[in-house]
Structure 1
Amino acid sequence: MNKGYVLNGRYEIISRLGEGGMADVYLAEDLILKRKVAVKLLRLDFRDNPKAKKRFQHEAMAATQLDNPHIVGIYDVDEVEGMQYLVMEYIDGEDLKKYISDHFPIPYAEVVNIMEQICSAVSEAHRHHIIHRDLKPQNILVDQNGYIKITDFGISRAGTEDTMTQTRSIIGSIHYLSPEQIKGEMATQQSDIYSLGIILYELLTGKVPFTGDTAVSIAIKHSQQAIPSVRDFDPRIPQAMENVVLKATAKDPNDRYPTVERLADDLNTSLDRSRANESKFVVPNHHPDLNEATRVMPFSPLSDEKAAADQVEKRTGPTNAATKNPKKKPPDRKKKRRRRIIITAIFGLLVLVVAFILIATASGKTVVPVISGTTENEASRKIQAADLQVGKIRYHSSDQVDRNRVISSNPKENTKVKKNTKISLVVSSGPRKVLVGNYVGQNYQTVRQKLEREGFKVKKRNAPSGTFNAGRILQQDFRAGTKLNPAKQTLTFVVSTGIKQITLKDLTGMTKSQVVNYANKEEINPTFDYVYSNDQPKGRVVRQSPGANEVIQQGGNVAVWLSRGAKTKQQDTLKSFNVRVTIPYLNDQSSSTPLAGSNSSETTVSGSSDADTQSTPTANTENVVFIYLKDHDHDFSTIYKQMVITKDTTVMLPFKLTKNEVGRYKVVRDGKTILRDNNVTQNSQ
């Protein structure tokens, strides 16, 4: 798709941003809302592929469900003339892969900040039961202010769906894929957490943990080899931070963090002094037998027959074979004696314990059982079994003890008390949670103070806005109306810095292309007109409005007048008029005798068109045509207009000519000129 093409009459293509496996991404201008957007267009060779179209539609559906400042927003989804496209938020920056390459080594605090933003986005997806399945630095964008945005939900799946592929083929990028996905098993939230651990590894070391000549060799390493130590690469990395990598990338999903929020919380405190002496994380050994080396069993499956033979030998004496082996050593009597002493001691200890219980029972006393951590009902049964009664029950919030489980008792556990004593219980009501609201539009400082009094950690990120005044909240990374735990939740707000003000520079003497480059950089909108000037040569800026050093808002308009050159007597007769041209639609069966022509790589868009239907051919092939125009203000070497037609189309070409000037135009299709007029004058109306 060429520069200047207007998609669906609204999105004007500026340049190509990148190419993907099934789609291309373009930078475009939204002509209605006057803002830059990214347009993702399904490639021509995939437009008849139902799987590709389904994945493309799925990405739009998944992303539009999510509302998080760290997820690229979807503005529009549509199909026009067989072209499926998404219109997305444009991020002026680079992907995280290039960011790591450009900025490595990255300070540890910045690593935590980047991961915190990524986790916020992934957590939002998981709250909607959406598994991304392809988290990698190439799908994470970083803008000029270091603000993170996640994109590409093309292969994400709802958590309630069967996420195994029908062919058990691998979906996702192999360097960041979890072992269970490599095996073709169901992808879960823990699969995304594994990918987050690999991304954290790359942020800390500048490289991925496993490489190989083939995807299969890398997959085997992910499935069988332990993640290399980041502290071997950089010993200054705190052990607590390495532990986050190790736990997130455990081979068994059950050994990873249960949620992305838990990973973010752990990483957020990994630089604290209180964790300076933390020991290295070791994956729990759930199946010790699977980890042992192959060993020979001490006796064969016929051991029962051997035992019977031993009994016969004890009664009848040794067999002939035993008699023939006089070197056989007698049993170790010292070991047997030591074993006998230990057994006797244990037996004696048991006797003492039984005696103590009998004495306590005989004296009318009993011991408060251990009930902390048990459920309320289980605690009541244990108390009654110990000949005690359940007393008052109080409920108290707790971050350490689960809801409806006992925190403590009075009298305390293992205390000797009289029978029928009432035991009071303190039972957990779960973590303390606070109802949060919608704070968009409110003053950030006021909201921050209120939430910090409740115990929340509050963070702020700045962004310009033409809607809210400086200091007002633009976005929040949590859902209003939910209850959150202040001890474990960090609330992040995007706060307005106000709309950006642009002080205009003096454009006088610039060329049109220089003005366009300046306007794109400052994000303002220029409009052009032409005047005669004795001071500026043809094609240079004569004047502007607003003038130099005046202040306008970002996105505002600037009128620019370009010189036609000095006015002559002949130019007093300059006249404006339109020439009506009908462009024939050419399908595969069409035949014509084209004239020789040329095409230019430079594209300039101006003017307007008025299309009328002349005829409708049976074929549905698109015609891309280029119109070149030469008059008093336009050069024949640049494209005046680019169009896509599917039928005979009429356009009005605007000309400005003096009485003695001769204009020209030509229409080019597939590098061949199909229409031309080299003698356009004022009399051509």
Structure 2
Amino acid sequence: MAATVTDPVIGTVVDGRYEVLSRIARGGMATVYLAQDRRLDRRVALKLMHPHLADGNDVVARFRREARAAARLSHPGVVAVFDQGTEGESSYLTMEYVDGVTLRRRLLSQGALALGEALDVLEAVLDALGAAHRAGLVHRDVKPENVLIAHDGTIKVADFGLARAVTEATMSSTGALLGTVAYLSPEIVTSGAADARADVYAAGVMLYEMLTGRQPFEGETPIQVAYMHVHGTVPPPSDAVAWLPLEVDEYVALLTARDPEDRPRSADAALAALRAMRADFDDRVLALRADVEPDEVAEIAGEATADVEREGGATATLAPRVGSTVVLPIGAVEAETEQEAGTARRRTRRRRRVAALLAVLLVLMTLGGGVWWYLAVGPGAYTSMPDVVGRAEATALATLSEAGLDPTTREVHSDDVPVGHVVTTDPEPGARVERGGAVEVVISQGVLRLRVPDVAGQSPDAAQDLLTDTGLDGDTLLDQVWDQEVPEGQVVRSEPSAGSLVDHDTTITLMVSQGREPIAVPDVSGRPLEEAEELILDAGAEPQVGDEAYSDDVPQGHVVSQDVTGDALRGDPITLVISKGPELFEVPNLFGMQYSEAAAILEDIGFVPERENVLGGVFGTVHSQSVEAGSWHPRGTVVVLTVV
């Protein structure tokens, strides 16, 4: 790309590790490069903060702190932060490199998104922002340039940390804030303060833009747009796209309410309302798209350059003014100017004069007509409480406001009412309520889900108390199991297992130990050792080889005896005595002995002597023996003695 050829950073190695390959984008706070991580051999997006931002303030310290916080944020919809450090006068971040396009590029190429696609994008963005809000992080710069759409359809949010670090440091040193004015919430413009609800506001503006192809507020200068955010109301998207459902108008109004107290408290709450609203739309409606030509959007965007750059470390896009960062003095637009305050005071005086006149009229109109006017259409009029039970929060609040009531919300868990829908109201539907009076709307958080505590080793009663204390109020069942380690009468485990996330009324089964399981050990005497061990293992015991013993009856390598037979407990050791076979004895030399003497010697050893006479054996002398002298044989061996 011609615009990046002369960039002196390209070709350098940052911090001795990151080889800069090309420039991806340059914004108001940093320049993003495609780099190769030489240590881990992977491509990363390298974001170098502009050196001038560190002049005279603590932006570097804030930048590092925010980078560490962002690095701890692990969510599939958030661009991961890998590393941070310094290079020369600049601080840098290395982040996940996502190959795709930004939402800004998608809008420039398509004009507007179909309702279903816009809600898909917003759902992914709110899901990612919700993870950040739960971790105490606020993005502060939610805009299409920071929403990345990978080629596989994955949607990720980029730039956590840098926007907040630079903005806070700039505010503390200059009294000004950095931001993209088209998406700044009113409270950021007037005071510089921002919490999770500021991100919700920007998400609502972004939804308006995705559906209509243009931003809700447009002006010649950033200060004019900022003024509209503070003093205006985001128009209903259906003013520009007539077929959009009323629920979408109500949802955009909910997210972009001027008073932060009227917005969802976090992205999670906004996400729940989005899902509840979307459930009411069929596929036909979700497929509709505003008829906005891409060229028209490009003209509105006011492209600053014809160079195609890659934005946010992820995507090929043009760099339009609509997403650029501006410097805006804090308080440049006040919540209410002095002239407006004077107008408000004059209106108050007029209302007081009218009220006084009405009071006189009421005194004069004591007859039935005057009373009827006061009760039916005057200041004391009452109305009937609309039935909004079961309806989506945004729709219910709009209905109550249109009825002239002042609704407030409270959230509870409900087993029956979907998330983001009305459980009940106070007063109840149909009740007589003063016009303009305050009413409470109870919104469902869905079924209460809790984690199963670890009850192993507890008694059943103690385990039941722990389940109850946790809030699990479903049935508790007991089941008995044998266990080698857990003593009898104690809980072995629960089903569902400890740590499982379950509905609060889920039935929990406690598996209670009966102790070790009784088994019957078979008699393996006379069996080969390997076979004996297998039989004992099958029975549930642990075979152990003990002493070896001579046996005239049991072959070598077979079991002579065992220490336990019959009743035992699973896992008990069973000691086996293994046969060495019969004991062998040396055959003596009996030549020349008298038969009686030789026979006695053989019998003492355990051999069996037999006599065989030659020539009548008249001398009684052993002439020879059938078993060779010096050989070894077991008891009972027959030795034939030849006697002469």
Normalised TM-score (structure 1): 0.42
Quick one: higher RCO (CA 8 Å, sep 6+), 1 or 2?
2
Which structure has the larger Rg? 2
